[in-house]
Copies of this chain bind each other. A is one copy, B any other.
């Protein structure tokens, strides 16, 4: 009966609540977070070192859902493709987190293992060693831009100007919202890898 009073907060519960805040409102304020936890903002500081640390931890959590490229027998472009998909799928679970996570640094610690394997795949595919990082950057830029695209409001693609007939017409025929973003991601990854493959074959 005289059970010790339960801990109100845990790193886990705080991160859970913070992610809910971000998913719901796209923002993260310490007061809103505290309210959702039923405490005050200052309590949070006993478990995590401020707002920046919370966002950092959430980015790690989301990135940890990215599957490592499998070391199986499939070809290098299939493996890279599936890794890009896994990356974007993880990001797509919490699109509102993406702009917040951008504020700090871009490349993460935990993702490095994945990067190492991708570097190996690129090298095995025939990319010259001094260009492996450059190609890794290319893939990262596209993955990042596509992730941001997930967070963008679809209204951005509304035109309503009659002096831009080609664009207006194309928008009529196009898919919208998430589906457009998904199709674009797919197409872009394939084009990047096809471009890389074609270039490698040309230089052989």
Do A123 and B166 touch across chains, with their CB atoms under 8 A apart?
yes
Q: Given contacts A134-B180, A134-B183, could you give 15 more A-B pairs where the C-beta distance is less than 8 Å?
A: A102-B148, A106-B152, A112-B164, A116-B165, A116-B166, A116-B167, A119-B170, A135-B187, A137-B184, A140-B145, A141-B188, A142-B145, A142-B188, A191-B199, A193-B195
Check if A18 is an interface residue, CB within 8 A of chain B: no
Known: A134-B184, A145-B142. A119 touches B166 (CB 8 A): yes
Do A191 and B187 touch across chains, with their CB atoms under 8 A apart?
no
Which of A1-9, A40-48, A49-57, A125-133 binds B?
A: A125-133
Q: What are the residues of chain B within 8 A of A169 when measuring CB–CB?
A: 129
Check if A38 is an interface residue, CB within 8 A of chain B: no
Indicate with 1 or 0, residue by residue over A128-163, a CB within 8 angstroms of chain B CB atoms: 011111111110111111101100110111010100
Known: A153-B105, A181-B137. A167 touches B115 (CB 8 A): yes
Report which of B105, B143, B198 forms a contact with A156, defined as CB distance below 8 A: B105
Do A167 and B112 touch across chains, with their CB atoms under 8 A apart?
yes
Roughly how many angstroms separate A79 CA and B191 CA in the complex, as a whole number? 18
Do B123 and A170 touch across chains, with their CB atoms under 8 A apart?
yes
